[in-house]
């Protein structure tokens, strides 16, 4: 009898481990010692958001500096920065988009601001900005399609030289200059600046790595 009561006491006092109910947190993981804590997931998401925000700020700052540099270089040669023959050394900055399309807005902003302040009025903003946007837009599209940087540089020279037709149209409308002669001079002067600066920008990229700067 004593043995019978002892057995009942043993089983009644023994702690029975029931299977723990699995709870899902909505992310596809169960909560427990062998799962990724929800807090850790939130911390990682916060870090990703912080890095993305920091990258956006870096892009804005870099393009602001590029815009100021374009303005400074163009003002430096202002006597030959407008008109039927243009030798803007600042146009060499167009090649930056060959390496990284994120530089497009800094160059475009520099063109628009210079033309608005020192150019020939609203038409200079529209045609000058449009010409830059058209040429740089085509160059930016090539970034993933043409892997050879030297070919992209050569095409960038071509895009800018050909698109100078827009500037020739503007000068025909505002100054009554003959279109074809003006276009020939504009295309030639742009091609000279862009061709001379292409090897220089390639050399600088080998050391500064423009693709990774922003």
pLDDT confidence of residue 98: 97
- Angstrom distance (rounded) from CA 38 to CA 26: 10
The pTM score is: 0.77
List beta partners, residue 24.
Answer: 30
List beta partners, residue 30.
Answer: 24
Structure tokens at 40: 């850790």
Give the CB-side neighbour count of residue 155, counting CA atoms within 13 A: 19
pLDDT confidence of residue 199: 98
- Angstrom distance (rounded) from CA 32 to CA 23: 8
Q: Where are the domains of the chain?
A: 40-78+86-208
In this structure, are residues 163 and 135 in contact, taking their beta carbons and an 8 Å threshold?
yes
* Residues making up the chain, counted from first to last: 214
Question: pLDDT of the chain along its 214 residues, tens only?
Answer: 444 444 444 444 454 454 554 544 554 444 454 555 676 666 666 667 767 788 899 999 999 999 999 999 999 999 999 999 999 999 999 999 999 999 999 999 999 999 999 998 899 999 999 999 999 999 999 988 999 999 999 999 999 999 999 999 999 999 999 999 999 999 999 999 999 999 999 999 999 999 887 6
- Which of 196, 193, 187, 188 shows the shortest CA–CA distance to 164? 187
């Amino acid at each position: 009898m004593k043995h019978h009561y002892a057995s009942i006491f043993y089983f009644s006092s023994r702690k029975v481990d029931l299977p723990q109910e699995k709870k899902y947190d909505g992310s596809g993981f169960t909560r427990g010692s062998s799962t990724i804590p929800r807090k850790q997931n939130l911390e990682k998401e916060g870090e990703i958001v912080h890095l993305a925000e920091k990258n956006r700020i870096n892009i804005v700052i870099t393009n602001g500096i590029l815009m100021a540099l374009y303005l400074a270089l163009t003002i430096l040669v202002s006597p030959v920065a407008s008109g039927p023959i243009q030798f803007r050394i600042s146009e060499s900055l167009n090649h930056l988009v060959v390496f990284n399309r994120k530089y497009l807005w800094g160059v475009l902003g520099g063109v628009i601001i210079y033309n608005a302040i020192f150019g020939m009025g609203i038409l200079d903003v529209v045609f000058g900005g449009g010409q830059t946007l058209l040429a740089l837009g085509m160059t930016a599209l090539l970034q993933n399609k043409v892997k050879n940087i030297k070919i992209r540089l050569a095409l960038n020279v071509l895009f800018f030289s050909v698109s100078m037709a827009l500037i020739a149209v503007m000068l025909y409308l505002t100054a009554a200059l003959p279109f074809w002669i003006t276009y020939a001079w504009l295309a030639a002067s742009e091609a000279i600046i862009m061709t001379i600066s292409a090897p220089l920008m390639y050399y600088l990229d080998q050391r500064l790595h423009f693709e990774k700067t922003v």
